[in-house]
Amino acid sequence: MIRRFLPKGTRSTTKEFVTFIEGWINSYPRKMFTYKSSNQMLRLANL
């Protein structure tokens, strides 16, 4: 999924951009979680 933002051969990036990518990946809904995101599943597990 990271390759959607950083194509192969990308030499450098900023820490802010990597943080943005991490947030996007963790908030992306996944079929295996019945279309909930990783963040949502983590919150549900911590109840």
DSSP string, 1-36: -GGGTS-TT-----HHHHHHHHHHHHHS-BGGGTTB
Cα-to-chain-centroid distance, residue 31: 14
Tell me what the mean pLDDT of segment 30-47 comes to: 95
**Which structural domain range is residue 38 located in?**
2-46
Instruction: Please determine, for residue 31, whether its predicted confidence score (pLDDT) is greater than 90.
Output: yes
Tell me what the mean pLDDT of segment 23-27 comes to: 96
**How many domains in the chain?**
1
pTM: 0.76
Check residue 1 and give its pLDDT: 85
Residue 7 CA to residue 30 CA, distance in Å, equals: 22
DSSP for residue 46: T
